[in-house]
Amino acid sequence: MCGGSVIYKQDDDGNVSPVDAKFASFRIAAVKNAAEAAHRPTLLVDAIFEQPREVWITGDGSLVADKPADDPKARCIDSKTGVLNLDAATAVSIGFAKGHAADRDSAARAAGLTPTSWVDLTPIVSARSSRLAAQDARTRKAVYDWFNAINEMEAKIVTAIEDTQTTAAAYESSVIPDGATKVLGSRARKALADHMNKVRSAASVIKFDDAIVPDGQLEQNFRDNYPTMHAAILERVSKIRDLLEQRSTKRVLDAIDEALRLLAEIQDFKKSLKRPY
């Protein structure tokens, strides 16, 4: 049986809607070309993609788009309100199908092939499917770990800015800072550097396999853009670290505002990140 088809698009939130006619026409033309190359009736392509289309079989077995006025044997196989419905005999008679087949050998003969020995591909397909499933699971975990690392990074940046400011302010004051205050900023910056290595490691593990079809547009967008997103985040964090690593405490204090501005950019950038799973 063959029903109707709708070419649709999916937005970042997973909502589905039909594509505009001008975009659908390109795909439909490709299907029509394939039908013509296989000597199949292109009228059936129109019937599949356009609900109001009708398809009639005339008494001599021809397909027409309108009910013949003087052919009592004509019958409708696709009405304006229904969907294309072909039984096996009709499908064969109009060239939509090659023939009837109850087993592999008869299917081969119907397709014009000479049946020989058959190879059971089930174990091969199952093994490949299992490998792809394992790879997909590893990729999903890697993406999950990367997002978690990015979320943890913001707190590390805030602490690095605040603790560096505390240490620098203490050195600029007339009071000699205690030992804990002296190393507060350097320890926070070291923790941020260590965490950025964690973010890099998480990104390096993300490996998308072209044999695995993306699970919707959201995943496709992430596949296409995550290297750029990752690089953009690292660039801003590196700038913040450079600002906080000034040798002069006065320069560090002057650089805090710029570091906070870059932090706000990262926070805004994070809002645009959407988990694909």
Looking at this protein, which amino acid is placed at residue 54?
A: E
pLDDT tens string 142-193: 999 999 999 999 999 999 999 999 999 988 887 778 889 999 999 999 999 9
Instruction: Kindly list the structural domains of the chain, giving each domain's residue range(s) and its CATH number in brackets, ordered by start.
Output: 8-86 (no CATH), 122-272 (1.20.120)
Q: Is 232 helix (H, G, I), strand (E, B) or coil?
A: helix
Mean pLDDT of 130-151: 94
Torsion over CA: 251, 256, 257, 260 (sign):
positive
Question: How far apart, in whole angstroms, are the C-alpha atoms of residue 218 and residue 225?
Answer: 11
pLDDT score, position 217: 83
Quick: pLDDT tens for 60-92.
Answer: 888 898 899 889 899 888 888 877 777 888 888
Kindly state the average pLDDT of the residues 50-59.
86
Residue 51 is predicted with a pLDDT of 78
Residue 33 has pLDDT above 60, yes or no: yes
pLDDT digits (tens, 9 = 90+) for 98-109: 888 888 888 888
Dihedral sign from CA coordinates of 89, 95, 96, 97: positive
